[in-house]
Amino acid sequence: MAPTLPALLCLGLSVGLRTQVQAGTFRKPIIWAEPSSVVPSGSPVTIWCQGPLHAKSFSLKKEGSSAPWNIHPPLEPWDKASFSIRHVTEQQAGRYHCSHFIGVNWSEPSETLELLVAGRLGDRPSLSVRPGLSVAQGETVTLLCQSGNRTDTFLLSKEGAAHRPMRLRSQDQDGRYQAEFSLNPVTSAHGGTYRCYRSLSTDPYLLSQPSEPLALVVSDYTVQNLIRVGLAASVLLLLGILLCRARRDHREAREAARRNRMMWTSPGFQS
């Protein structure tokens, strides 16, 4: 009996899928953490892994751990899965990557997610900004993290940012440790709330308490925009002056014409 059309379609899709998997053409899954990859000790965090539609399973693995965490995607379209940690401890800090299973094999691992646990070092660094909290687009902004305690690296985290925190090696300035994070040129995307942390090289994924939050405001008024606004205002002012002068000249001309008419029609000028 000849195979039906649905059967042929399923067979074709299965062969095509197997060929793609064997050829390694599926893209890597995407990994991220909510609410952030910087988590206060004892707080919850969810690690998400997203791959293609109809993935059969997802696997999350922490570097240095031999046991992966496998889970089936719970809801359609079965393209992502969540791995929840209710209370983060220092044992969960580290580097993670995930893979998805579809067809006959596991995908390549995702990019690395660094899960950073804050609050394991007692003190908090300070955070300041130059030239100020409110800047215009195109300027250069420097965020300065400082601490009086030994620090190997500083991390700068932006609230709600999808990318990983910036990390810089600290510099010893007469017994005070610091790092300068430069944003150049600053854009509207740089606006937001920042915090910095310090860490030690013995365990770079365990951080200090965060600094006090710093809110950076980036306005749309660049130097070029201010020049344009100034030129436009000057042109409008000049047009206004010319318009007022033209109206005044017009009134004076009408008044002069009216006086002339009265003079020629007065009795003393009649023959």
pLDDT over 60 (residue 271): no
Rounded to two decimals, what is the model's pTM?
A: 0.69
Quote the pLDDT of residue 100. Answer: 93
Tell me what the mean pLDDT of segment 100-115 comes to: 91
| Nearest CA-CA partner of 120 in 38, 33, 175 | 38
Q: For 37, which DSSP code?
A: S
pLDDT over 50 (residue 241): yes
- The class that CATH gives domain 122-219 is mainly beta
Contact 50, 30 (CB under 8 A): yes
Q: Output the CATH code of domain 28-118.
A: 2.60.40.10
* CA atoms of 44 and 119, how far apart (whole Å): 14
Quote the pLDDT of residue 2. Answer: 46
Q: pLDDT grade, residue 11 (50/70/90)?
A: very low
Q: pLDDT grade, residue 213 (50/70/90)?
A: very high
> Picking from 2-6, 57-61, 99-103, 171-175, which range would have the lowest pLDDT averaged per residue?
2-6
Pairing verdict, β 113-121 and 206-208: parallel
pLDDT over 70 (residue 157): yes
